């Protein structure tokens, strides 16, 4: 495959790029370091020391013998993006390149707008550039399970069969997202769906759950190949934050009752899912939707799993219910379907004590880099 990975400097994009490169696909990565800039703005950073993108690419070539093409480019620059698509002629475009934080989008009006502008404009550019120069390519777009919210009915994979006043239709599943960030993904889904229906583009919208974990097969080869690992209140996600908190002796921050249920998956399974989605592309004119997660947990269950694993390693880990900074249901029904990736061959790596301990061990190596000031939630939904 000739594959472009947008957001290739990110937590998921970098290990995905190495994975396809190792499999001998022709890989180009694109990033404008928005995530690194977001950390500079907040005075925070990745737990793992991450090399500049160009150094990581050079280290990868040295370690693996494979070359990844890299481009410093803002996806919101339409001309530059279209030129790259024209020159590289991708058959697959994996689009990770968005601002990925719900709290960031809730800081204030400017951060809400910057998140939606960057994400919607970037994705809009991707579909227009595809239409103009590579209409046969397959777009694999990272959406999020949070697009659906937590409705009191079963969640289907993208579409629902409706019967209304004696008539039936299959329509996009209703969306009830919980932040301006999650809303940006809903806007993207509508725009991509439109491009598939009207222009005949082909796309897979991956409604991914919360990702955890620190390593892929390739990041383990050399410290210069590490991917980022965020633990701060803005960019860090639940289980990753809990592991850092356990190691530095901070109480594990369960927001509210902790009965909120979400879909979760290991970073290695993200890569597996992307590979499965890219190797069997959507049909012309189709926007497929896969719900991409392997397990459901309540936040409490996750916190308890981390407490158990951390205590096993000798840490005196404890969880604490903190006043929930978000506006979200803490008790709700949650039953999302997630069979399509399994049907394509996904072999989930389920959460285990051993897996959490691996993360804890890596956190231990870099614990001196933790900024404790960055951990407590300060961004509130209202």
Residues labelled as active-site residues? 144, 181, 185
Contact code string over 191-210 relative to ligand USQ, x by CB under 6 A: -----------------xxx
Q: Is residue 99 at the binding interface for ligand NAD, with CB under 6 A as the rule? A: yes
Count of all residues that appear for the chain in the document? 382
Q: Is residue 374 at the binding interface for ligand USQ, with CB under 6 A as the rule? A: no
Which 3 state secondary structure label does DSSP give 371?
A: coil
Q: Is residue 142 at the binding interface for ligand NAD, with CB under 6 A as the rule? A: yes
Which is nearer to ligand USQ, 148 or 366 (by Cβ)? 148
Burial class (CB in 10 A: 0-12, 13-18, 19+), 62: exposed
- Asked whether the beta carbons of 238 and 295 are under 8 A apart, the reply is no
Candidates 237, 270, 292, 294; binder of ligand USQ (CB under 6 A) is 237
- Asked whether the beta carbons of 100 and 146 are under 8 A apart, the reply is no
Among ligand USQ, ligand NAD, none, what does residue 76 contact (CB within 5–8 Å per kind)?
ligand NAD
Q: Is residue 145 at the binding interface for ligand USQ, with CB under 6 A as the rule? A: yes
Q: How far is residue 82's CA from residue 69's CA, in Å, rounded to a whole number?
A: 16
Which is nearer to ligand NAD, 56 or 202 (by Cβ)? 56
- Asked whether the beta carbons of 313 and 242 are under 8 A apart, the reply is no
Beta carbon of residue 131, minimum distance to ligand NAD (angstroms, whole number): 19
Which 3 state secondary structure label does DSSP give 151?
A: coil
Contact code string over 235-264 relative to ligand NAD, x by CB under 6 A: --x---------------------------
Which is nearer to ligand USQ, 202 or 250 (by Cβ)? 250
Candidates 48, 70, 116, 144; binder of ligand NAD (CB under 6 A) is 144
At 10, give phi and psi (nearest 5°).
-90, 180
Candidates 102, 155, 273, 346; binder of ligand USQ (CB under 6 A) is 102
Which is nearer to ligand NAD, 198 or 350 (by Cβ)? 350
Beta strands in the chain (DSSP E): 2-6, 26-31, 69-72, 92-95, 138-144, 159-164, 167-172, 202-208, 210-212, 252-255, 261-266, 287-292, 295-298, 319-322
Which 3 state secondary structure label does DSSP give 319?
A: strand
The residues in 217-236 that bind ligand NAD, with binding defined as CB under 6 A, are 228
Candidates 17, 50, 76, 80; binder of ligand NAD (CB under 6 A) is 76
- Asked whether the beta carbons of 48 and 88 are under 8 A apart, the reply is no
Taking only Cα atoms into account, the Rg of the chain, rounded to an integer number of angstroms, comes to: 20
Residues that bind ligand NAD (CB under 6 A): 7, 9-13, 30-35, 74-76, 96-100, 118, 122, 142, 144, 208, 210-211, 228, 237
Residues that bind ligand USQ (CB under 6 A): 100-102, 144-146, 182, 208-210, 237-238, 241, 253-255, 260, 262-263, 299, 326, 328
């Amino acid at each position: 495959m000739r594959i472009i990975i947008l957001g290739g400097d990110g937590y998921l994009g970098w290990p995905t790029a190495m994975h396809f490169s190792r499999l001998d696909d022709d890989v180009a990565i694109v990033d404008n370091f928005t995530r690194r800039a977001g950390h500079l703005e907040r005075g925070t950073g990745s737990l793992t020391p991450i090399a500049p993108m160009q150094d990581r690419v050079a280290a990868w070539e040295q370690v693996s013998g494979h070359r990844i093409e890299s481009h410093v480019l803002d996806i919101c620059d339409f001309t530059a993006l279209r030129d790259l698509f024209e020159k590289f002629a991708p058959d697959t475009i994996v689009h990770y390149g968005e601002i990925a934080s719900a709290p960031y989008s809730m800081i204030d009006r400017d951060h809400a707008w910057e998140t939606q502008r960057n994400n919607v404009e970037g994705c809009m550019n991707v579909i227009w550039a595809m239409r103009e120069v590579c209409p046969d390519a397959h777009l694999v777009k990272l959406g999020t399970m949070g697009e659906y919210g937590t409705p009191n009915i079963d969640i289907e994979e993208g579409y629902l069969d409706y019967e209304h006043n004696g008539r039936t239709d299959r329509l996009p599943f209703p969306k009830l997202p919980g932040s301006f960030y999650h809303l940006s993904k809903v806007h993207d889904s509508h725009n991509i769906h439109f491009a598939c229906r009207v222009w005949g583009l082909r796309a897979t919208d991956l409604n991914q759950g919360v990702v955890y974990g620190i390593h892929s097969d390739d990041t383990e080869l050399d410290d210069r190949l590490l991917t980022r690992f965020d633990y701060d209140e803005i960019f860090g996600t639940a289980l990753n934050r809990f592991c850092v908190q356990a190691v530095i002796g901070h109480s594990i921050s369960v927001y509210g009752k902790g009965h909120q249920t979400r879909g979760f998956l290991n970073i290695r399974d993200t890569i597996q899912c992307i590979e499965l989605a890219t190797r069997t592309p959507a049909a012309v004119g189709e926007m497929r939707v896969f719900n991409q997660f392997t397990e459901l947990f309540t936040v409490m269950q996750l916190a308890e799993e981390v407490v158990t694993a951390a205590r096993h390693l000798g840490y005196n880990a404890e969880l604490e219910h903190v006043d929930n900074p978000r506006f979200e249901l803490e008790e709700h029904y949650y039953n999302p379907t997630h069979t399509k990736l399994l049907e394509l061959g996904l072999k989930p790596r389920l959460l285990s004590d051993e897996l959490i301990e691996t993360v804890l061990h890596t956190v231990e190596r870099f614990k001196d880099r933790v900024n404790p000031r960055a951990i407590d939630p300060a961004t509130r939904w209202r």
